[in-house]
Each structure stands twice: as C-alpha cells, then as structure tokens.
Structure 1
Amino acid sequence: MAFIRYICHENVMKKPVTMTIVSLIILLVALIPVRDMHLEIPSSEALPTKYESRQAFDTYNDTFINKNTADVYFVLEAKQDMLKEKPLTNAFTFIKQLKEDSLVKQVDSISTALNVKSSDQLQAMLNNPQISAQTKPAVDSFINEHYMLIKATLDTDQNSDQAKDFVRKWKEKHSPLTVHIGGYPKFEQEIFDEIYEKAPYGLALVLFSTYVILIIAFRSVLIPLKAIIMNILSLTATFGLLVWLFQNGHLGLTESNIALVLPVFVFGLVFGLSMDYEVFLISRIHEVYYQTHDNNVATVEGLASTSKIITSAALIMIVITGAFAFTDVTPVKQMGVGIALAIFIDATIVRMLLVPSLMKLLGDANWWFFTKKRDKSSSNEQLKS
C-alpha cells in the first residue's frame, strides 16, 4: 500500500497532464484498428482444421459448392391452390422479376424445370392428361397446394453485404402473393439487423442507468460521466487489439474475422466489471474526501487502499477468462482474449493512471454536486444557529 501511495503521489499526482496524455495515446493507438473490424457469424472455419467435421465440410464445399455464389429460397404462398389461374400468373410474374435482378445468376423454379415461359403454357400442359402425368414429379418438387418453391442463385458470396441487401430488398417488394424468404443470406441478414437495430437501445439504457446510479451514489456530475467515457474508451481499445491480433493474424494467430456476438458479450460483461472496480475506487476516495475535503489526499488514499483488492480481482478474472485463449475454437479464443485484455487495460492504464490523473486535474470540480449540497447544508445549519 505504501508503494502504491508513493508511486501515485510522486508520479501520477505530480505529473497529471503527462500521465493523462500518455494514457490516452496508448488507448487511442490501440483502438485505431477498430475501423477495419469485420463482423461475421462463425461458420465451420471457426473450428481447427484437424477436426474431422471441419475436414468433411471443407471437402464438401470445395467439391460441390461454388463459394462465389449464394442460394436464396423463396416460398410463395397463395390463399387458394397455387395451380389456379390467378396465383399461378402472379407466381410467374414474380419469377420473371427475379430473373431480371442484376444480382441473380440463375433461377430454379417450375418454369425452368419444365421449360415453360408463362402460366398459360403450364396450365395447358397440366390440362393434357398424358403430359400432366409426365410433369407431375417436377410439379410436386416445386408446388405443394398453396405453396411454390423458387431458388435464386446470387452472383455473390453468401456472407457478403450484397446478399444481405438483396434479401432486404425482396422482402419489401410488393406482391399479391405472400413471400417467405430463406437461405443462409436471409439467416445472416436477420441476425445482423436484429443486433444493429436493438444494440443502440440496450447501450443507451446501460449508459443512462449507470450515469443516474453513480450520480446518486457519489453526488457528483463529472465522476459518472468520466467513468462511462473511460470505460467506452478502454473497451474500444480492446476491440482494436482484437482486430489487430485475430483479423490481421498477428502473434502467430490464424486470420479470422471477429465473431458477431463478441462485442455485445464483451461489452456487457466487462462494462459491469469495470463499473464495479470504479465503485470500489471512487467510494473510498469519496469517504476520504468527505473527511478531509482534500481532493489530492482523497485520490492518493483511495487508490492506495483499493489497489490490492482491485488488482487481485482483476488477476483472477484475467486467469479465468484468459484460459479460454488456449482453445482451438476461434470464437471462444477471441472471447477469452478479449475479456482478459479489457480487464487488464482497465485495471492498469485506466485505474492506475487515467483515473487519478483526471481526479487531480479536475480537483474539487469532481465533487461539484456533492460540494454544492454540503455547502448548502452548512449554510442552513449556520442560519439555524
């Protein structure tokens, strides 16, 4: 404790501007790679190549699947039997529009299976008993009562943004028939859209509630705001390091995109842990400040008295989560490394350097709400006396 007190007083508190600048430079440099982050839903490539399931899937893809195309499945639903004149006409109109899309490379449907150009041709074939018997297997493959199946092959990779935009566009297209869309591009589009649309609301709720709770706890306007900004900064720096390590393939790691759920999971877990550390530290500083009304003394004593428990807690979490870095499954490895890095950055650069430096620079302004209330209470007591 004496060593921490000495380091904080002689280095951080005497050179707050330098410590703040150095800390911010480290964090800002670390977060630069975030701009190149590419998120994806983990696939078979997340497994190590020695796994039999990975080898079988790679063989299947290399042998039978064109990686430069994507299959999207449309199921058209009519209120009556699909072979009736009106729904069949609407279905052929839909097929024609689909073929005219610039991203569509090929369309497999009842039209291509029987080489018919219009619903009238198909109706004529079905009305002929001999031809109808021959075409029944093809018809049954694409039409079942109220439903018709259509497969569109896109001239783009199934993970591409173009594939996601394609299914979004066709979902919004107006058609007399009910259109159901499936396939891997649709699966990815729905998950990405759900996270991107809902994450801002969740983030806003977390930040607002945290700010209000900390204002009530510490009676300060600046300290909660500072805590939130520093946590966001350290987390962003963590994601930047993950991009540098995994996406760019440094330190011997295999190049791999970042798992889609990783930022959400790491943010939720580490933000909560960081706020716990913040509460431990600031609570002690708050107690000392209440007794001494000296911001510098309170900062040094608070950091010295809580550094042991914060460091110990951080080390435990780093060891536990860091153990996942030794797995061969990429998303799990990314999660372990990400949480361990975030906690390490928070417990060192943020808690040991940035927090005390900013506490020193802001001085009594840290406790503006608290000081105002205390002064008002003192004035009321003087008036009563």
Structure 2
Amino acid sequence: MPNQEKDEQLYEIALNLLPKIGPSVYRSIVAYTGSAKQFFEMPLGKLSKVPRINKNLLALRNHKEDFLKEADSIMTQCIKKNIDIITFSNTNFPQRLKGLDDCPMVLFKKGNSNFNTSRTIGIVGTRNVTDYGRSITKKIVEDLAPYQPTVISGLAYGVDIEAHRCALQLELPTLAVLGSSVDQIYPSAHKATSEAMLESGGVLSEFPPGTVMHPTNFPKRNRIIAGLSDALIVVEAAKKGGALITAEIAYSYNKEVFAVPGNLQATYSEGCNNLIKSMKASIFTGPKDLEECLGWSKDSLHQNGANIWDLSKFEEEDQEIITLLQTKKEVEIDMLALALNTSVSTLAIRLLNLEFEGFIQSLPGKRYRLKMT
C-alpha cells in the first residue's frame, strides 16, 4: 500500500473511533472537509463552520493524538494477523452498503471475497435448525448454484453454518459476517469452516481485532448481512430471534425478502409464517422466485439486472455517479461525494446536469436516484 493511502487509512480509522460520531456524521465531515485527515488537521476556526460539527466533536479533536495512536495500533495488529482493512473510501468497499444510512465506515476481512460480485444471496435462520430446515437449506443452495451467487450468512449454529458448508461443497463463494472480530471466530467450533471459506470467500466484521464480544454486536452484524444481500431468504425462525431482525432490516432497506413456509404447529416455522402473513416477505418456492424479482438468468451470469445503462456515452465523472447509483435505489449527496472523492459543490453541478438531461431524479433530503426509462 502506498504511503499516502496508508496515511489516509490511519486517519479514517481514527475518525471512525470517535465516540457517537455515527455513519451520517462521518460522511458529512469527510464530504465537506475533503478527507478524514483534513478533519484532524484543519484549523479549529474553519472546522467549526463545517455542517454537523458541534462543540463535542471539536473537543474530541483536541485529543487527536490518542485516536491516531489507537488507529495505528489497530493497523499494526491487522498486519500481524493478516487482516485486510477496508475503509469507506477504498475502491474495494462493498458498493451495496454505501447507500445505507447506517453503513459501517471501516471493515475488517480475511479471505479473497469479492464484495462487489454481481450476485449475492443471504441465507439465515434459527440456530435450532430442524432436519427439515437442514434439507431445505441444502436444497436452496443446490438450486441456486447455477446462478453462481455469493452465499452470505453469519457463521452461527443452525441454518447459517449449513448454508456456508453447502456453498463450500458446491464450490460457491461464501462470506460470513461476524458479530466478533475476524481474529476471534465465534463460535469457535466453526473455525475450520471459516478457514475453508477464505480461498474464494472469507470472513468480515466491522469490529477491529481484539474487540470484546458483546450481545449488541449481533444486531449490528445482521444489518451488514442484510445490506450485502441482493435478496434474503429466511429458512426457519421462531417468533423472535436474530433471523427475524435481519429480515426486518432487509425489508427496511427495500431488499427482496423471502421466507420458507412451514408447519403451522412448528415453533421454528412461526417466524417465517408471520413474515409472510405480514407481507414483509414473499413465499420462497424455488429459484424462479429470484429470477423474477432480481432479473437473474443462468445465461447471463455476469450481468446484474440493474446494470442496463450504456455508460460509453457519458463523461468519466458521470459514469462514476451512475455506476454508484445503480447499486442503490436512493443515495444522499454527502455519501456520493465521499464515495467519489469529490466536494459536495462540484458534485452538485454534475448532478444538476444529469437531472436536466433526464438521467437522474432528485428527492427530498438531498437524495438522488436513477431515472429509469
């Protein structure tokens, strides 16, 4: 990694360490200052005029050496443990996450997973999987194999680990999003499986190495599973549980959510049946359901249904804007500016031109989306 890129990564990690900063504030800061490094080096008087920077943030900036020292420690640990750091500005950062209001700003991974592959499918469910759930999970992965998706789950007991293992058997890339750091595989019984996943998939977490496990980590983990998945399939779930949380999040992200229906008297079908009843999930009957919703085809494995624009007629800067908007239904201008490494004022002009030309549509809250024709 070039020294300049490494230096900027240090500052991005440090900015992410600031307590209660949140993704939206982080994006706003970088969009208006130009970079995480600028936040820490800009004169306080000028910094105080940046939107969303309040007195508390300015006070935290006075302790920048402490945050930079902690960030440097994290980077050193990652080098020793062969952990890749992917910050929001990195070109390898998952495009599917960038448009989310609660998108993580820094990710840690091990393995060779391609986060921006054309097809992904999330498969989740209860830890107390039944024989029916195991057989259905295996059947789902087998039926989806011809479409070559990346299978995403959480490495937990039950449906999660069945999905990962089935994907490995069929030589499909599979990614585990962890509620622990990637150097502390949880549960430890699945460490061997996680290592087998590294060749064509991997493990991913927003928690830096050495993070102490805490129950609040898992809902955070669930939002990443939901965000990375083009569609989410819930195989078995009780009335309450992590799988239903993931489904609710995916639904809030306007993702396609499917649930496998089950016996009305079965405890671990109650959650799936309720998702269908409340119309937060469609009934999953087979791969044709995904074909219809996502535009998948076995004959066009490298074509994403959303990527239907001929970009050759656009200028390079506009191509970048459209490519990013293709991955999300709606994106805030601050997030676009950060992702494209440009200023809000410069980006606003390009967005206005694209809107006049009829290619994009502006929405309330300074959000934008493609205007499909």
TM range (shorter): under 0.3
Higher relative contact order (CA 8 A, sep 6+): 1
Q: Which one has a larger percent helix, Structure 1 or Structure 2?
A: 1
Q: Specify which structure has the higher proportion of strand.
A: 2
TM-score (norm 1): 0.24
TM-score, normalised via structure 2 length: 0.25
